[in-house]
C-alpha cells in the first residue's frame, strides 16, 4: 500500500533516517513526498537530502504546511519545545509521536484538534526489522490507523495496543534490542575467554541468535517447547541453562523490562503528563 500526500519528520536523527530509508525501499512513498526538519543540525538535514532526495527546511511552519502527516521523531526531553512550536499549526493533521513516555492526553492537549497516534518502534527499524506498537488517540479513525500501520510496516512488524500497555511495550521491545546486544556481547566475551578468536566468537554468537529467532518465527511452537527439545537430560545445554537460572536469568529479564517500563512512566510524570 502506498501513501498519498507528504510525510513530514520533525527530528532528523537515527529513527527518522531509518523510517525514511524503509519508506523509500518499500516504495510506500516517493522522495518528493518526504520532508524533514530538526532543531539545529544542518549537516544532518543536508545528509538526508543528498542521500535520499527528500526536502529539508529549517522552518517547522513550512514543513507543516507541506505535510499531511507529521512524525515527531524527537527525544522525550525535546518534546516540550516541539509541541510549543507546533501549537496552532497542525489542525486536522495526523500527528504520530515516537517519543517514549509522552502520553496521548499531553500530546492532544498541546496540539488542539490534531489527530494523534503514539508509536513505539525500536532501533531495528534501521534494518527494517522493528517491532512497533501503536496506540490511537481519541479522534483516530480506521483510516488514520491504517495510514500509520502502512508507514511503520515499512520498517518491520506493527501491532496496535491500548495506550496503558505502551509502557510495557517500551520496556520489552522498545528497549529490547539493547538486552539482546548485551547477551551477544556476553556470549562473545565468554567465547574469547575460553579460547576462541574474537571474530569467530562473534560470528558464532550472531548466527546462533539469527537461527534461533528464525526457528521461532517459522514455528508455531511455544519458545519453551523449542527450548525443551534441545535440552537433553544431563547434556551440555541443560548444564548451561542451569548456570543461567542459578544466577536468576529469568528474574533479571523480568526486572529489566519492568524497570524500563517504569522509566517510561516516569518520563510522563517529568514531562507533566
DSSP-derived secondary structure for 178-233: HHHHHHHHHHHHHHHHTT--HHHHHHHHHHHHHHHHHHHHH--S-HHHHHHHT--T
Tell me the three state secondary structure of residue 113.
coil
Burial of 209 per CB tally in 10 Å (0-12, 13-18, 19+): middle
Distance between CA 124 and CA 211 in Å, rounded? 17
Average pLDDT of the segment spanning 140-144: 96
> Grid coordinates standing for 9?
519528520
Tell me the three state secondary structure of residue 269.
helix
**Mind listing the domains of the chain with CATH numbers?**
7-163 (3.40.50.720), 176-267 (1.10.3730.10)
Asked if pLDDT for residue 273 goes beyond 60, the answer is no
The reported pLDDT for the residue numbered 1 is: 63
Q: State the pLDDT confidence band at 74, using cuts at 50, 70 and 90.
A: very high
Q: What is the pLDDT of residues 204-222, one digit of tens each?
A: 999 999 999 999 999 989 9
Instruction: Please give the span between the terminal C-alpha atoms of the chain, in angstroms, as a whole number.
Output: 35
Q: Among positive and negative, which fits the CA dihedral 166, 168, 171, 172?
A: negative
Interhelix angle 142-153/14-25, rounded to 10 degrees, is: 90
> Grid coordinates standing for 58?
529549517
Between the alpha carbon of residue 264 and those of residues 173, 183, 273, the distances in Å are 13, 23, 11
Q: What is the pLDDT of residues 230-242, one digit of tens each?
A: 999 999 999 999 9
Instruction: Specify whether the CB–CB gap between 152 and 124 falls below 8 A.
Output: no
Q: Give the position of cell 519453551.
A: 224
Whose CA is closest to 114, among 143, 85, 90?
90
Q: State the pLDDT confidence band at 77, using cuts at 50, 70 and 90.
A: confident
Mean residue pLDDT of the chain comes to: 94
Amino acid at each position: 500500500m502506498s501513501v498519498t500526500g507528504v510525510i513530514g519528520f520533525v527530528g532528523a536523527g537515527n529513527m527518522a533516517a531509518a523510517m525514511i530509508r524503509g519508506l523509500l525501499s518499500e516504495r510506500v512513498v516517493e522522495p518528493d513526498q518526504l520532508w524533514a526538519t530538526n532543531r539545529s543540525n544542518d549537516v544532518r538535514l543536508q545528509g538526508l537530502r543528498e542521500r535520499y532526495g527528500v526536502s529539508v527546511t529549517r522552518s517547522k511552519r513550512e514543513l507543516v504546511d507541506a505535510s499531511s502527516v507529521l512524525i515527531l521523531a524527537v527525544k522525550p526531553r525535546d518534546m516540550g519545545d516541539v509541541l510549543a512550536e507546533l501549537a496552532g499549526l497542525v489542525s486536522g493533521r495526523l500527528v504520530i509521536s515516537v517519543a517514549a513516555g509522552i502520553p496521548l492526553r499531553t500530546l492532544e492537549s498541546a496540539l488542539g484538534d490534531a489527530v494523534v497516534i503514539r508509536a513505539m518502534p525500536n532501533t531495528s527499524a534501521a534494518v527494517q526489522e522493528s517491532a512497533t506498537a501503536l496506540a490511537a488517540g481519541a479522534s483516530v479513525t480506521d483510516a488514520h490507523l491504517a495510514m500509520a500501520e502502512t508507514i511503520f510496516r515499512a520498517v518491520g512488524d506493527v501491532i496496535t495496543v491500548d495506550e496503558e500497555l505502551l509502557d510495557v511495550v517500551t520496556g520489552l521491545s522498545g528497549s529490547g534490542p539493547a538486552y539482546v546486544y548485551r547477551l551477544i556481547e556476553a556470549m562473545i566475551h565468554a567465547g574469547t575467554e575460553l579460547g576462541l578468536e574474537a571474530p569467530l566468537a562473534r560470528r558464532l554468537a550472531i548466527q546462533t541468535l539469527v537461527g534461533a529467532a528464525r526457528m521461532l518465527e517459522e514455528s508455531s511452537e511455544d519458545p519453551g517447547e523449542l527450548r525443551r527439545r534441545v535440552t537433553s537430560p544431563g547434556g551440555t545445554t541443560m548444564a548451561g541453562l542451569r548456570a543461567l537460572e542459578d544466577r536468576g536469568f529469568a528474574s533479571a529479564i523480568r526486572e529489566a523490562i519492568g524497570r524500563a517500563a517504569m522509566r517510561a512512566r516516569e518520563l510522563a510524570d517529568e514531562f507533566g503528563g
